[in-house]
């Protein structure tokens, strides 16, 4: 009998608690009961419908809105107006350079948590960690030296492509190419250089070498290795070498009045058209064109300023100027330069024929330097 009285007492207590909850609902609005059932404010019905499209909890009997619904589910679409399409972003963002590390999870803990440290160390493999260090270095160097973000992005893409290349043959066939020390730095610097070339930015090898405290000759070695490893890549095949006009426009915008820009660009175009200094760097050709312009137009401008801006040495400038100075009449007249370009493109003409045609235009120029005949080596002499 005692057990039956205990059960009745328990039911009476439960009934009293439900009455108290209902009285609170009338005053405060809908609340959750212990059985997680919502009660309508208007009709006291428990027939509540969750309308996720509008974000409300609606009574199924009277239609009154009782509460808001907070969506705690993942957001599958990325700003696509709820159409259910577009790039998915449920979970962490995916880094195309670090595919395995992008699959990792995050432990919610304080920064000093040992479990979190171990988790972070283990979720990124060694190869991706080494690549990430270089990509971060490229970004830091570009930010520090005020290099455009587009150049930094291109350099990261180039190094990521280079990082995946493996030895095609030999004892290391199938293994990744390893770069260490200054050779590694020169490769990274060359990636920034070609990133600037792709984005048509005026960054010389000398200025980029300074970013990494390297000699320019070391950068040349890095360029050879880079082009050798990337020779089959379409990006490198489609790279257009920097034109002297890019360097000239940059210089004139900063140092010279705007009216001299068309003359300087015309000079550089004529040099390229006639192929007069193909064995010189574009910045050297641009510096020589600026020097000829300053001399021709009697502009007060020092040679040291030209040398420091274009990042070349004085002997290099003098050598390039000496090559172009004898073509002074041609370079400042595009009509004559166009005629000469047609003559030079005829491969059958000899030097004497070209000199005769130049004489008809009242131009006295030695077209090519005479070649010095050297004696044959012992291996080449027929016995």
CA gap 134, 316 in Å, rounded: 34
Q: Give 48's strand partners.
A: 59
Residue-level pLDDT at 335: 79
CA neighbor of 183 nearest in space, from 222, 231, 138, 132: 222
Average pLDDT along the chain, 383 residues, taken 10 residues at a time: 50 66 54 61 81 79 79 55 48 73 72 78 82 92 91 91 83 78 87 88 82 86 85 78 76 75 83 77 83 82 80 83 81 78 59 56 50 43 35
| 90 contacts 74 by C-beta, under 8 angstroms | yes
CA gap 61, 73 in Å, rounded: 28
Residue-level pLDDT at 100: 78
CA neighbor of 196 nearest in space, from 140, 240, 259: 240
Residue-level pLDDT at 372: 43
* 142 φ/ψ angles, rounded to the nearest 5 degrees: -65, -40
* 67 φ/ψ angles, rounded to the nearest 5 degrees: -160, 165
Can 126-237 and 244-360 be said to share one CATH topology?
yes
Contacts 24+ apart (CB under 8 A), 112-121: none
Residue-level pLDDT at 320: 85
* Angle at the Cα of 123 from the Cα atoms of 91 and 151, rounded to 5 degrees: 75
Domains of the chain, residue spans: 13-68, 78-124, 126-237, 244-360
pTM: 0.58
Its CATH class, for the domain covering 244-360, is mainly alpha
Look at the domain 126-237 and name its fold.
Cyclin A; domain 1 (1.10.472)
């Amino acid at each position: 009998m005692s057990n039956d009285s205990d059960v009745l007492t328990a039911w009476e207590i439960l009934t009293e608690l439900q009455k108290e909850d209902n009285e609170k609902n009338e005053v405060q609005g809908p609340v959750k009961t212990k059985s997680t059932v919502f009660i309508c404010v208007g009709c006291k019905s428990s027939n509540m419908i969750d309308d996720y499209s509008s974000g409300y909890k609606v009574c199924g009997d009277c239609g009154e809105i009782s509460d808001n619904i907070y969506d705690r589910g993942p957001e599958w679409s990325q700003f696509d107006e709820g159409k259910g399409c577009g790039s998915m972003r449920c979970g962490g963002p995916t880094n195309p350079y670090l595919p395995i590390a992008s699959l990792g999870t995050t432990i919610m803990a304080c920064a000093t948590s040992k479990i979190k440290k171990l988790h972070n160390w283990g979720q990124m493999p060694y190869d991706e960690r080494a690549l990430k260090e270089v990509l971060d270095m490229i970004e830091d160097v570009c930010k520090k030296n005020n290099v455009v973000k587009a150049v930094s992005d291109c350099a990261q893409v180039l190094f990521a492509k280079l990082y995946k290349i493996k030895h095609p043959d030999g004892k290391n066939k199938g293994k990744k190419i390893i770069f260490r020390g200054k050779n590694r730095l020169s490769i990274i610097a060359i990636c920034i250089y070609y990133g600037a070339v792709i984005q048509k930015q005026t960054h010389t090898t000398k200025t980029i070498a300074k970013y990494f405290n390297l000699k320019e000759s070391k950068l040349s070695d890095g360029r050879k290795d880079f082009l050798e490893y990337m020779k089959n890549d379409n990006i490198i095949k489609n790279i257009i070498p920097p034109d002297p006009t890019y360097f000239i426009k940059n210089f004139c915008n900063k140092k010279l009045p705007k009216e001299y820009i068309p003359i300087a660009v015309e000079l550089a175009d004529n040099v390229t058209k006639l192929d007069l200094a193909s064995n010189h760097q574009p910045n050297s050709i641009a510096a020589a064109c600026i020097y000829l312009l300053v001399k021709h137009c009697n502009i007060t401008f020092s040679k040291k300023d030209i040398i420091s801006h274009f990042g070349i040495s004085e002997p290099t400038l003098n050598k390039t100027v000496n090559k172009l100075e004898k073509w002074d009449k041609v370079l400042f007249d595009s009509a004559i330069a166009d005629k000469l370009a047609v003559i030079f493109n005829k491969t059958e003409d000899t030097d004497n024929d070209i000199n005769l045609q130049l004489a008809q235009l009242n131009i006295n120029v030695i077209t090519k330097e005479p070649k010095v005949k050297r004696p044959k080596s012992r291996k080449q002499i027929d016995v």
